[in-house]
Amino acid sequence: MSKPHTLRAHRGQKLQGHVCVPGDKSISHRSLMFGALAIGRTRITGLLEGEDVINTARIVTQLGARATKIDDTWEVLGRGVGGLTQPDGDLDFGNSGTGARLMLGVVAGNSVSARFVGDESLSRRPMGRVLTPLQAMGLRVDKNRTTLPMMVHGTPDVLPFEYELPVPSAQVKSAVLIAGLHARGRTTVIEAEATRDHTERMLRYLGAKISVEERGDARAIHVEGDAELQGRDITVPGDPSSAAFLVAAAAITPDSDVTIENVLINPTRTGFYTTLCEMGANIEFLNEREAGGETIADIRVRSSELKGANVPAVRAPSMIDEYPVLAVVAAFADGDTVMNGLAELKVKESDRLAATSDGLQANGIAATVSGDTLTVHGMKNPPGGGRVATHLDHRIAMAFAVLGLAADRPVEVDDGAIIATSFPEFEPLMAKLGATIERIEST
């Protein structure tokens, strides 16, 4: 990670232009992992080269599936399902909860032992929710640890399993389905609320037998074991969670007109955009098309007069990473915005619910937390002028940098270096659109 530095975002001129955001983080992680489990060569274009994904590339290489960059394309030489090899040294995930949790599912079905480690933030985050089903399928964990660092032991004899998710979680669902690739029989995950389905789409694209069954109001996702995946070409579309920061900035900055090209608009990822439209944002989805099993489009957003909204809890899985920047947008709306069902925010890179509320209040914006609900009292012209503690959370850093672009006074975030974990191009892209974000190096 780069040296810690403060960011100070200033209110400036309108934002204008056409840009592309980096590749989707969720799809980037999966393309590397699933390429490692496939037979043959997987070529990946558009891979996000943030620190989290580069750590995943390094780890699949440690497990015997060499991942290398050749010109603008990444290649993974797959080992096949169950074919990964004993790593030399710790598997270091840095700040990536997605990388660690999905890789537990990968390791579960291989005859390897591995020590999972991460940075200070990741080492505080709970892994028990994903370990519970994986241990039932045969994964062993030394000392029954539920946080990193932890030593885990996979097995070639994974048990097929049916698991009902106690709370919506694409990471838990994905880890179980990945482990199920190695089982002798069918593994099923039942979810009461739809979560990100990138795992199902990509595994099907690579040849896994995936089916979905409606069970009343729930969905059962099945994967057949003893799977054989075939390496294929994968194009990673632009990350809608990264695009959200640019969209938010354009919506709240007067006279702005910004288009973000080639963005993933998978319906399990567009809750933020649905909510902004309900708030009155001027958003268009242009040139909608298909690529590699996913839907992409160009998103045009213009500055908008916004009103408060009530965001239902059922929408949370489709926008869980966007709540901090939605809270910033809500500060510029007329009336209250009420965001429900945010329990998952408490176990992200930081306690994002508390960090978001604290950051708003530090900038003169009234916000209240009650249980799992955040209410932002919109004021159209937030004062700003505060300093925000990021708590090693990249999305908190970017969200409050966006606040400073339209608040009356500049906003500081205490560490902009953490942004490199997911969106290393954030500062130059914002500058290209006309934003003024000052970097203040630590002394």
Helical axes 198-205 vs 25-37, angle rounded to 10°: 40
3-state secondary structure 202-220: HHHHCCCCEEEEEECCEEE
Residue 217 annotated as catalytic: no
User: Is beta strand 38-45 parallel, antiparallel or unpaired with respect to 229-230?
Assistant: parallel
State the number of CA atoms in the 13 A half-sphere of 196 facing the CB.
26
By 3-state DSSP, what share of the chain in percent is helix, strand and coil, each rounded to 5?
35, 30, 35
Which residue in 102, 114, 105, 42 sits closest to 78, CA to CA?
A: 42
User: How many Å apart are CA 414 and CA 420, to the nearest integer?
Assistant: 14
What lies within 8 Å, CB to CB, of 321 at 6+ separation is: 241, 244, 348, 395
* 127 three-class SS: coil
Annotated active-site residue in 321, 358, 393, 415 = 321
Amino acid at 371: G
Q: What is the dihedral of CA 352, 354, 358, 360, to 10 degrees?
A: 60
Q: What residues act catalytically?
A: 321
